[in-house]
Amino acid sequence: MLYRAFCLVLLSVSTLALSPPASRTSPPAGAKIVRAGTSTSGEYSTFAAAVAALPNDSSSQTIFIYPGTYTGQVNIQRSGPVTVLGYSTNPGAYSANQVTLTASVGADTAGSNDASGTLRIHTNSVSIYNVNIRNGRGAGTQAIALSNYGDHVGLYACQLVGYQDTLLTNQGKHVYLQSYIEGTTDFIFGQLSQAYFEGNTIAVSGTGWITASGRASADAGIYLFSQNKVVLASSAPSGTKTYFGRPWRSKNFGLDCCIFETLIFVTDYARVIFKSTTVTAPLQTSLWSIWNTGDERTDHVTYGDYATSGSGVSSSASRPSWAPLLSSSAAAAYTLSSALGGDTAWIDKNYLI
């Protein structure tokens, strides 16, 4: 009886394990097809052309992208649900991705962070699988790979690569699962979103900060990281160190995420939690950072970590009073369901651990 009970427990646990499809190498019926260099009638040679061809209605639409690198910015803003499928022989692994969207636009020329995004999402119910999204602008200005303003948006086994402000997860409920996110400065940031990160590789390409939460009040906004890895990117220079995050947000006449911020007053309600993180990239001793000396922005922050391990964590780690090491009971309160207010039916559970 004990053996049978043990087997049943193992079975129930296994049903929660990752179970993405074995491959995704052909388009589903009805999908719009993107193929680099195509001249076939009914296909599109760019991702932008396929997005532009989507009907502006409430129907569910799918875009399938064959292998290739597709250049230029794209904004998804139709009213109905959109699923984007990248060709992959192993859809559960971002390392097998063969589709890349790329641009090199900075906020200094685009006029705002959002406008610099290689991919911009300004609608609800978007799911993206096995697509690499890059902003190649590099150091010197904010330059977004993904700008996410939608609700119920999921990224599954994708790669997001930039330098400063790689991922703007700004409003709505989002999940980032089994993906790769690379950057240096404040490279996961935003203001209002409820964002859940699980099973990702977070790659640090230089000394800086992983997150910059701009939560401006005690609202539902949160960045919750569970069971992720923090590693050094292959391009990281010697001596690179990082922080889990620093609080960001200034009031600027209502122009959210504008590159030029006119400071009126600072609101400091950043909320970021890291749980069960394996860290091999060197973390700064304090793990967390103020915004700037004399402009700390830590009055109302909710920062904390639990079960952080790995060679990147200093044996002399000394967390600040406003970013404590969480107890097991405090950490248990932070779950996928709590982060998203119980609204989880829209998530592809095959990509949850």
Residue 81 is part of a domain; what is its CATH number?
Answer: 2.160.20.10
Q: How confident is the model at residue 14 (pLDDT cuts 50, 70, 90)?
A: very low
Is residue 47 situated within a structural domain? no
Q: Which of 340, 135, 75, 114 is nearest to 221 (CA)?
A: 340
190 confidence band (pLDDT: 50, 70, 90):
very high
CB 231 within 8 A of CB 281: yes
Higher per-residue pLDDT: 27 or 5: 27
Go through 252-267 and write b for each residue having 16 or more CB atoms within 10 A of its CB, e for each that does not. eeeebbbbeeeeeebb
Give the pLDDT confidence of 65-99 residue by residue, as tens digits.
Answer: 999 999 999 999 999 999 999 999 999 999 999 99
pTM, two decimals, is 0.92
Residue 250 lies in a domain: yes
Say how far apart CA 201 and CA 178 lie, in whole Å.
7
Exactly one of 114, 151, 165, 186 is catalytic; name it: 186
Give the Cα separation of 54 and 237 in Å (integer): 43
Residues 6+ apart with CB under 8 A from 100: 68, 69, 70, 131, 132, 133, 134
Number of domains in the chain: 1
CA 178 to chain centre: 10
pLDDT band at 16 (very low <50, low <70, confident <90, very high): low
pLDDT band at 248 (very low <50, low <70, confident <90, very high): very high
Higher pLDDT, 263 or 313: 313
Tens digits of residue pLDDT in 107-151: 999 999 999 999 999 999 999 999 999 999 999 999 999 999 999
Identify whether 61 is part of a domain.
no
* Residues of the domain holding 223: 66-340
pLDDT at 255 over 60: no
Told to judge if 186 belongs to the known catalytic residues of this protein, a careful annotator would answer yes
Domain membership flag for residue 103: yes
Does any domain span residue 170? yes
Query: Among residues of the chain, what percentage have pLDDT more than 90?
Result: 90
In a domain, 255, yes or no: yes
Statement: residue 251 has pLDDT above 60:
no
Residue-averaged pLDDT of the chain: 92
Q: Is residue 334 part of a domain?
A: yes
Structure tokens at 202: 């977070």
pLDDT for 21-36, tens place per residue? 999 999 999 999 999 9
Note whether residue 76 is domain-resident: yes
